[in-house]
Amino acid sequence: MEHSRVIEITRQNKDVFTLRFDSSIKAKPGQFLMLWVPGGKEVPMSLSDTSNPAAITFRTFGETTRAISLLKAGDRFYYRGPYGNSYPVPSGKVAYIAGGTGLASLNAMIMKYAGDVFVGARTKEDLFLLGDGYNVATDDGSAGFKGTVVDLFIPNAWKYDYVYVCGPEQMVKALIDKLGKDIKARIYISLERLMKCGIGICDSCSINGIRVCRDGTIFNIDQVRNMSEFGVFKRNESGKIEFFVNGKR
């Protein structure tokens, strides 16, 4: 396990934080760290900036992420990685589609390759890392388009050569279903599942025998289409199958 020191923690909104840290890690956009602070759990974290110094951006949702958000400049934290594959290099016209905290992972890519960014959130208060000219969708219409980021993006889909996607499984599922198969763009999707080991051996994050942590986290759209379990069920910490509310059995 490596260790590093916090340079600064920036609050992005009510529960999203960016932690910039001192290290010489060589990571590519799309990769993640397994991050640990003593007393907490070890959690996977997407790098939101892979330049030097690098950064992670995360939402607090439990004790561990809250403990990380309370670190101060100079405090130590511990990590393994970077793990996972990275987003392929684009050519032509590029779009990014983010939901949930998906913009954290895509941000590292946006910093390197300009493109049109489509961001979805529940409300205005849930937005973070917004740049100039981002296309915003909120469920309640408190900012930008009222509706889902998928519905905001679909009419524009034909414009792009490369599309990068990161967000909740049901968002990605809706996108795949609505895009249809005759789309010309190359579409790459970073998937999210419960992870324990991060190195491809514990099987917690596997979808149809494909490991999100080691075979991904980034897959092309055809690979995701071929995952019959995707968008239908996930697994809890025991490995038990839990169907998504909207998942079609």
The answer to whether 198 touches 174, Cβ cutoff 8 Å, is no
Q: Residue 190 in 3-state DSSP?
A: strand
| Contact present, 81 and 60 (Cβ < 8 Å) | no
Single out the segment in contact with other proteins by CB under 8 A; choices: 73-81, 102-110, 113-121, 125-133: 73-81
Which one of 11, 66, 239, 246 is in contact with other proteins (CB under 8 A)?
Answer: 239
- Check residue 53 for interaction with other proteins (CB under 8 A): no
- For residue 239, the minimal CB distance to other proteins (Å) is 4
Instruction: Work out whether 1 is an interface residue with other proteins (CB under 8 A).
Output: yes
Which range, of 51-59, 127-135, 143-151, 236-244, touches other proteins by CB under 8 A?
Answer: 236-244
> Please, which residue, 173 or 211, has the CB nearer to other proteins?
211
Of 74 and 239, CB closest to other proteins: 239
Query: Within a 10 A sphere around the Cβ of 243, how many other Cβ atoms?
Result: 11
Contact between 210 and other proteins by CB under 8 A: the answer reads yes
CA contacts within 13 A on the Cβ side of 156:
18
Examine residue 204 and tell whether it contacts other proteins (CB under 8 A).
Answer: yes
From residue 7, alpha-carbon distances to 23, 31, 37, 52, 69 in Å are: 10, 20, 16, 12, 13
The kind and range of the H/E element at 153 are helix 149-153
Which residues of the chain form beta strands (DSSP E)?
2-11, 16-22, 32-36, 42-49, 55-59, 76-83, 94-98, 116-121, 135-138, 145-146, 162-166, 186-190, 206-207, 210-211, 218-220, 233-235, 241-243
* Segment near other proteins (CB under 8 A); pick from 9-17, 41-49, 116-124, 143-151: 41-49
- Cβ pair 119, 98 in contact under 8 A: yes
- The residue within the footprint of other proteins, chosen from 17, 21, 32, 36 (CB under 8 A), is 36
**Tokens 């038990």, residue located:** 240
Q: Is 27 in the site for other proteins (CB under 8 A)?
A: no
Q: Which of 238, 245, 248, 249 binds other proteins (CB under 8 A)?
A: 238
Residues 79-118, interacting with other proteins (CB under 8 A): 80
Q: Which of 112, 170, 229, 244 binds other proteins (CB under 8 A)?
A: 229
- State the Rg of the chain over Cα: 17
Nearer to other proteins, 106 or 213 (CB): 213
Which positions from 182 to 201 touch other proteins by CB under 8 A, shown as an x/- string?
A: --------------xx-xxx
Alpha-carbon separation of residue 248 from 13, 170, 229, 239 (angstroms):
34, 11, 10, 20
Binding residues vs other proteins (CB under 8 A): 1, 3, 34, 36, 38, 41-43, 76, 78, 80, 196-197, 199-204, 206-211, 214, 229, 235-241
